[in-house]
Structure 1
Amino acid sequence: MAEPVTPTIRTSAKAVVVHNGRVLLQRAMWEGTDCYFLPGGGQRPGEPLDAAACREVHEETGLTVRVVRMLRLREYIGANHEHADTEAGTHRIEAIFHCTPDGTPGQLSGHAEDDLQTGLEWVELEKVPGRNLLPHALRLRIAALAASDPHIGYVGDVA
């Protein structure tokens, strides 16, 4: 019998960067599938979550952004989802912030891209539900920003 795994909790910040009715997404290759993620990443000790979102966006995209408000708090407890056999030790807590670029966004070019990242793309908010944005539970919630209905809140343990 395998030893039980004690998950390590990791906090991170993600950004829904919106400009002219479009949201900035990272294109990625994950488990052999083309998909999209929100820019963002791990929080550093002593760093506020909103500052972590701004730092991560700058590192991954080259954009300087400002936080408008927090949209969501998401958890991912690996033992409860599809890849429980390999992700039982994963427990992520993600603060998801609505951000806007400072100034007009120019050419995108991050200096610390994620390993899975294959590019960056501005996607019309209305088209987000049709994209393979992970986690899927966020697609409609992000698209709702087009109607100025962000429905702020805790989304729970979603994959």
Structure 2
Amino acid sequence: MAETVTASVRNAAKAVVLHGGRVLLQRAHWEGEDCYFLPGGRQHPGEALGATVRREVHEETGLAVRPERLLWLREYIGAHHGGALEDHRVEAIFLCRPEGDPAQLGGHAEDDAQTGLEWVELENVSGLNLLPQGLRGPIADLVHGEPPTSYVGDLA
């Protein structure tokens, strides 16, 4: 008899932390390659998304941030990208500003794949191996100002 898979949707909050024309990114080694991610992570039951992004950024980077507004809503549906049906995430991506000293980095609960943190000039983001790749252009374009909030769809 085949095993029944129960799919669920996982909510998360990610941060585009801007300071002085730069964005804070996590360096990582994931699935055999060096890459970058936005800081953030899974929402806890009963936790507002704004609280999630503040908690996750602090855990992963040591930086206190103030979420200013929602930039993008992104989905990842694993079955559409060669992954498992049960891998379905919805991520709220917030524009955030540091509340503390942006030079004082070092979280207490880094992701397993995380190898470091880096402030990257916005104009350099499009040339990075930033995952999901579909966010490289929109993040780099923040150098020209903040876009309206949008649903960016199912991005790998």
TM-score strictly above 0.5: yes
Partner residue, 2:46: 46
In the alignment, is the contact (CA less than 8 A) between 1:59 and 1:113 conserved in 2?
yes
Q: Counterparts of 2:100 and 2:108 in 1: how far apart (Å)?
A: 20
Distance 1:101 1:145 in 2: 17
Determine the structure 2 residue equivalent to 1:21.
Answer: 21
1:129 partner amino acid: S
Bigger drift between 148-157 and 3-12 goes to 3-12
Identity of aligned residues (%): 66
Q: Is the 8 A contact 1:141 1:151 kept in 2?
A: no
Displacement of 1:136 in angstroms is 0.4
- Kindly provide the CA deviation profile for residues 89-132 of structure 1, in whole angstroms up to 9, marking residues without a partner as x: 10000000000001431321100000010000000000000000
TM-score norm. by structure 1 comes to 0.93
Q: For residues 121-155 of structure 1, what are the alpha-carbon distances to aligned partners after superposition, in whole Å with 9 as ceiling and x for unaligned? A: 00000000000000000001011111004242001
Q: Is residue 113 from structure 1 mapped to residue 96 from structure 2 by the alignment?
A: no
Unaligned runs of 5+ in 2: none
Unaligned runs of 5+ in 1: none
- State which drifts further: 34-43 or 87-96: 87-96
User: How many residues align structurally?
Assistant: 156
> RMSD of the TM alignment (CA)?
1.4
User: Is 1:69 equivalent to 2:66 in the alignment?
Assistant: no
Q: Deviations over 1:46-104 (max 9, x none)?
A: 111011001100000000000111000001110011x32xx221000000000000143
Which amino acid in 1 is paired with 2:58? H
Mapped to 2, the partners of 1:143 and 1:2 lie a distance apart of 46
Does the 8 A contact of 2:26 with 2:39 survive in 1? yes
1:72/1:153 contact within 8 Å kept? yes
Measure, in 2, the Cα distance between the counterparts of 1:149 and 1:140.
13
Tell me the distance in 2 between the aligned counterparts of 1:120 and 1:128. 14
Greater alpha carbon shift after TM alignment, 5-14 vs 35-44: 5-14
Checking the alignment, whether the CA contact within 8 Å between 2:63 and 2:100 is kept in structure 1 is: no
